[in-house]
Each structure stands twice: as C-alpha cells, then as structure tokens.
Amino acid sequence: MPKHILIVDDSKTVRNLVAFIMRKEGFKVTAAEDGLDGLEKLYVDSQVDLIITDINMPRMDGITFIKTVREQDSYRDIPIVVLSTEGEDRDIHAGLSIGANLYMVKPAQPEIMVRNVKMLLG
C-alpha cells in the first residue's frame, strides 16, 4: 500500500510538479489548492501519511492550516513539510514553532525533497 501525500499549494504549477515527483517515487498523491481545500480533503480521506503545504495561500494560509491540523488529535502526528518562497529565519521559525516537521524554501531540489519525505515517513 503506497504512502499517501497531501499537497496543499495555491499554485497549480507547484502542485502538479510536486505531485509528479512524488508519484514517480511511488506515492499516492492528493492535491488541494489552499488550506480550506486541504482540510476538506484530509477529512474525506483520513489515510493521509504526510502533508506538504505552502504558507501564502488565499482563503486559508498555511500557518492557519497547520495550526488547525495540529489541534486535532487524529492528525497531530502527521508529518508536515512546509514548502514556501518565504525563506527568512522568522518565517522558518514561525512554521516550525506551530508544528511543521520540516521547512523547505522554494524552489526545492526534487531529490532533497524526496529524501526528506522518505525520512519523515520512516
């Protein structure tokens, strides 16, 4: 049974690229266009093993999305990777302090992203 990754990013290009990379590695992928869409998809398919999310998105940003996921017992332990253009120390600290397991700055190298995802999935 392949591990299931939820990709949350308002950029269709980024969603498609990350989904392509992850599918090529044998992962099942679900894509969402913002935090609200991400929560809906998470609730519909609770068998999500890892989340990759952007920070800057309309309707619900990544910070709010991560906080909402972490507040719920059933999703508290899902690894979350932030993939964002925001690379300042304060942005990275903010992402990690609210519950992200890893913070990567776009454009992320595909092989590094894959290695990190596999590491988090243990």
pLDDT in tens, 81-122: 999 988 899 989 999 999 999 999 988 899 999 999 999 998
Q: What pLDDT is stored for residue 87 in this prediction?
A: 84
Rounded CA separation 113/10 (Å): 19
Whole-model pTM?
A: 0.95
Please confirm whether the linkage preceding 58 is cis (ω < 30° from 0): no
Query: Is domain 4-121 in CATH 3.40.50.280, yes or no?
Result: no
Rounded CA separation 6/4 (Å): 7
- Six-digit token pair at 42? 């998470």
Evaluate the CA torsion angle 43, 51, 103, 85 in order and state its sign: negative
pLDDT tens sequence across 7-30: 999 999 999 999 999 999 999 999
> What average pLDDT does the structure give for the chain?
94
